A and B are shown apart, each in its own frame.
Chain A
Amino acid sequence: MKESGQELKGDFEKLKEIVAKLDNADLDLDESLRYFEEGAELAKKCFGKLKEAKNRFEKIKISMEENSLED
């Protein structure tokens, strides 16, 4: 969990860098597109991880509720 959290943080930072790079007006379209592609891939990954975390959380939550309703 911690590891994937760190990874998420890393990806997130990269994404931020890419956005900053994209804001650079000197970049030509080719480069911009390459960055955008990379960024989109990262964003997808981040969303995926987040969704995974959320799913796990929901699962834990349900099992927690099942247990706490026992008595």
Chain B
Amino acid sequence: MKNREIFEKLRNWRNALAASSGMAPYRILSNNALELVAKNLPKSKDDFLRLKGWGEKNFNRYGNEVLDIIKEYQQKSNQDDLASRGICDVFDNLQSPSKEDQAISNFESPIFSVKEFMEIVNDIFQNKLGKIKIKGELGQISGREKGYAFFDFFDKENQEIKISCFASATTLRYYGDFLKEGNEVVIEAIGSLYFKTGRFSLNVLKIEPIGEGAWKIAFEKLKTKLEKAGYFSPERKRTAPFFIEKIGLITSKDGAAINDFIRNLGNGGYEIFLENVFVEGDQAEESIIEAIKRLNQMKKLPDVIVLIRGGGGWESFKAFNSEKVAEAIVSSRVPIISGIGHEKDVTIAGLSADLNFSTPTAAADFLKNHRMELKSKITGLKERLENDFQLLFLEHNNKIRDLSFKMEKSLAEKINRIEYNLGFLSEKIQKLIERMFFQLNQVTEGFEIKFKWFGIFLDREMEILQKNQERLLSKLEDHLSVFENKLLLFESKLDGINPKRILKKGYSVIFKNGKAVKSVKEIKKDQLVKAEFFDGKAVLRTEEIYFD
């Protein structure tokens, strides 16, 4: 109920913050997160970060305020404790006044109401004395049909002495099997006065059988019960996660088991969260259950929880044969691996675990092998990946090479074809040219011959021509000289008959069209004629023509 008080305080603080900031309360911090704080009362940032719902961000925002609230609460509750201790001191003094001589002389006895007195008594039994273990024999049991039990607990040596006991439904649920009249058992109980009757009774929290034989019977019974409930069934059990890195280790830090486990685990780079618990004794059961719960509340859950302890006598395994522990194991969200005791030891916890190994060493070996298998799997996959890539690479490389080869071939073929065609063509052309040259040669050759002949012919003609010319010239010369002579002669003769001499005598010559007119018939009427006189010329018009 103390948790309730701090929880209420935290909730009030949060709601006030929500009201002032206008945010929804759950947006600030969830009820769950507050409950975890109330339950665990974290003292440091690390403590906070291990709680679900508490991240770095939340802690930075609200951590200090929450820490203050916790501190305030703890101081107050200490004061309360001190206050109640004060009453206790008073009570102590009341009970044994002889103990403190000085105090007594000045001590004035306080007066309590009945209710106050009963509260003091109950406070002493509940808070100061707490749980007490008592050995005895069970008397008649009543009230079971209603879900709880009343019975008397007798002193074994003296059956006259007994005390009233009450066992709640919860107690019956776990320990009901041991509740049988006449059984010798050890009970764990807290005493209290019942206000209405003033009757003192023990509230029984736990019942344990006495002796190995009784324990074995109890073990078998529990085993049958849990087997029926399906705790051990293979279908319920989870396999180890694929990759285990974070290990929640539940064991005693001083036991042999932790060394065996760590030594055999190998260096796999594990992150180990040790939950140091009592592995035997009265607190073992509770501390193991709490450890399982705490590990399940971690913000980042461990991959597995390993529950181990070394070998020991049957009493050492009490906590590992507890129904409550078995319940915590099957309720765990994180798979639990167990390695409890020696080879032959069978425990309820082991049977309930998801993976059970005979010893801490065997549990460590399993984890080591698990990691090795994973490694070889990864190596295999890696090799496959490499091969696949190489194949892919080669395939692509070949394809591209093939294509470029094809391309080259194709072009080369084209060029060859063209080359061939060109070759063929040029050959043809060459032949054609050759033929042309041949013909040309023939023509020119003929021409040359002809030309030569023509030259010769020409030369001869020229020679002839020249000869003729010379002959002609000499003849012409001859002729000329003859003609000249004749002309000279003629001139002298002519001079005697020069017409001009005649003209001087009164004659004239008529010319028509440059020709001397010899007859009158040559001229017509009205015609212009030229008359030449010895000293000049005149143009005359014919007026009249007369024939003789």
The answer to whether A and B come from one shared complex is yes
A-to-B contact residues, CB < 8 Å: 8, 12, 15-16, 18-19, 22-23, 25, 27, 29, 32-33, 36, 39-40, 43, 46-47, 50, 53-54, 57, 61, 64, 68, 71
A18–B411 alpha-carbon span in the complex (Å) = 11
Q: 6 extra interchain contacts, Cβ-Cβ under 8 A, other than A27-B414, A32-B410, A68-B378?
A: A12-B403, A16-B403, A19-B407, A40-B407, A50-B400, A57-B393
User: Given the interface contacts A8-B396, A61-B386, does A36 sit within 8 Å of B267 by beta carbon?
Assistant: no
B527 within 8 A of A: no
B-to-A contact residues, CB < 8 Å: 267-269, 375, 378-379, 382, 386, 389, 393, 396-397, 399-400, 403-404, 406-408, 410-411, 414-415, 418
Supply 12 A–B pairs (Cβ within 8 Å), ascending by A: A12-B400, A15-B407, A19-B410, A22-B407, A23-B410, A39-B404, A43-B400, A43-B407, A47-B397, A47-B400, A50-B396, A57-B386
A12–B400 alpha-carbon span in the complex (Å) = 7
Residue in B closest to A46 when the chains form the complex, CB atoms:
B400
Task: Identify the interface centre among B268, B269, B378, B408: most chain A CB within 10 Å of its CB.
Answer: B408
Report B264 CB to chain A, min CB distance, Å.
16
Report A70 CB to chain B, min CB distance, Å.
9
Contact between chains at A22 and B411 (CB < 8 Å): yes
Contact between chains at A32 and B414 (CB < 8 Å): yes
Residue in B closest to A53 when the chains form the complex, CB atoms:
B393
Report A62 CB to chain B, min CB distance, Å.
11
Contact between chains at A18 and B415 (CB < 8 Å): no
Report A26 CB to chain B, min CB distance, Å.
11
Task: Identify the interface centre among B269, B399, B404: most chain A CB within 10 Å of its CB.
Answer: B404
Report B387 CB to chain A, min CB distance, Å.
11
Contact between chains at A43 and B393 (CB < 8 Å): no
Chain B facing A: main interface SS: helix
Contact between chains at B267 and A15 (CB < 8 Å): no
Report B374 CB to chain A, min CB distance, Å.
12
Contacts of B403 in A (CB 8 A): 12, 15-16, 19, 39, 43
Contact between chains at A43 and B418 (CB < 8 Å): no
Contact between chains at B411 and A33 (CB < 8 Å): yes
A12–B397 alpha-carbon span in the complex (Å) = 11
Residue in B closest to A36 when the chains form the complex, CB atoms:
B411
Residue in A closest to B392 when the chains form the complex, CB atoms:
A53
A68–B382 alpha-carbon span in the complex (Å) = 10
Residue in A closest to B417 when the chains form the complex, CB atoms:
A25
User: Given the interface contacts A22-B410, A29-B414, A33-B411, does A43 sit within 8 Å of B397 by beta carbon?
Assistant: no
A56–B180 alpha-carbon span in the complex (Å) = 77
A7–B176 alpha-carbon span in the complex (Å) = 75
A47–B402 alpha-carbon span in the complex (Å) = 12
Contact between chains at B386 and A50 (CB < 8 Å): no
Contacts of B397 in A (CB 8 A): 47, 50
A54–B400 alpha-carbon span in the complex (Å) = 15
A19–B412 alpha-carbon span in the complex (Å) = 12
Contact between chains at A57 and B407 (CB < 8 Å): no
Query: What 5 A-B pairs have minimum CB-CB distances, sorted nearest first?
Result: A22-B410, A43-B404, A46-B400, A39-B407, A36-B411
Report A27 CB to chain B, min CB distance, Å.
7
Contact between chains at A19 and B386 (CB < 8 Å): no
Report A7 CB to chain B, min CB distance, Å.
13
Contact between chains at B393 and A32 (CB < 8 Å): no
Contact between chains at B406 and A19 (CB < 8 Å): yes
Contact between chains at A32 and B411 (CB < 8 Å): yes
Contacts of A16 in B (CB 8 A): 403
Report B347 CB to chain A, min CB distance, Å.
34
Residue in B closest to A38 when the chains form the complex, CB atoms:
B407
Residue in A closest to B418 when the chains form the complex, CB atoms:
A29
Contacts of A50 in B (CB 8 A): 393, 396-397, 400
Contact between chains at A54 and B404 (CB < 8 Å): no
Task: Identify the interface centre among B379, B397, B403: most chain A CB within 10 Å of its CB.
Answer: B403
A55–B397 alpha-carbon span in the complex (Å) = 14
A29–B406 alpha-carbon span in the complex (Å) = 16
Contacts of A71 in B (CB 8 A): 267-269
Contact between chains at A54 and B410 (CB < 8 Å): no
A29–B396 alpha-carbon span in the complex (Å) = 29
Report B245 CB to chain A, min CB distance, Å.
14
A40–B522 alpha-carbon span in the complex (Å) = 112
Task: Identify the interface centre among B389, B393, B397, B407: most chain A CB within 10 Å of its CB.
Answer: B407
Contacts of B386 in A (CB 8 A): 57, 61
Contacts of A18 in B (CB 8 A): 407
Task: Identify the interface centre among A15, A25, A61: most chain B CB within 10 Å of its CB.
Answer: A15
